[in-house]
Amino acid sequence: MTSEEIQTLIQPFVERIGGLMHALRHITLEYGYIDSGFIPAIADVFNLSQAEIRGVISFYHDFRTEPPAKHRVRICQAEACQALGTRKLISQVEEHLNLSMGQASKDGAVELKPVYCLGLCSVGPSMEIDGQLIGRASLDHVRGVIE
């Protein structure tokens, strides 16, 4: 990706309500993350300071400046899933992946992140692997994707 590509991608959002949020979301959808190197280009398109762009990026869980791992596991940590044993599930997954919650493996193969509610509270515990929602989740679901 180049600064020009980024600017072409986000130009349509300049006039939209909350355009910067749309722009950051679409960069994330397209590239998986927002490379810090493109912050000046984004700031230029929106006529904002780089600090303002960084401020918005750092506020939201969805925006990241590091590339995502190949496989992305998010496990719900919120109350309804707690009531169905998500704490135990998390420690099983942590052990299986040899990672702590919030970490990514050094080889970039897998990352494990918390999420606070996927709206699947009635079929918990729930998780999301590479964007796929999973209800009544167990370690087997992780094993199925990541050995």
Alpha-carbon distance of 12 to 30, in angstroms, equals 15
Residues 55-84 that bind another protein (CB under 8 A): 55-56, 59-63, 76, 78-84
The span of 1-9, 35-43, 65-73, 132-140 binding another protein (CB under 8 A) equals 132-140
Q: Which amino acid is at 146?
A: I
- Does position 43 bind another protein by CB under 8 A? no
Q: Residue 125: is the preceding peptide bond cis (ω within 30°)?
A: yes
Asked whether position 41 contacts another protein by CB under 8 A, the answer is no
Q: Pick out residues in 13-32 that bind another protein (CB under 8 A).
A: 17-22, 24-25
The tokens for 143 are 């094993």
Stretch that binds another protein, among 4-12, 92-100, 103-111, 117-125 (CB under 8 A): 117-125
Instruction: Tell the smallest beta-carbon distance from residue 121 to another protein (Å).
Output: 4
31 vs 79: CA distance, rounded Å:
32
Stretch that binds another protein, among 3-11, 36-44, 51-59, 104-112 (CB under 8 A): 51-59
Collapse the DSSP code of 128 into the 3-class scheme (helix H, G, I; strand E, B; otherwise coil) and give the result: strand
Q: Cα–Cα distances in Å, from 85 out to 3, 63, 130?
A: 46, 29, 22
Q: Shortest approach of another protein to residue 129 CB, angstroms?
A: 11
Of positions 15, 131, 140, 147, contacts another protein by CB under 8 A: 131
Nearest-5° angle of CA 135, CA 140, CA 146? 105
Contact call for residues 90 and 101 (beta carbons, < 8 A): yes
Contacts to another protein by CB under 8 A:
17-22, 24-25, 46, 52, 55-56, 59-63, 76, 78-84, 115-124, 126, 131, 133-136
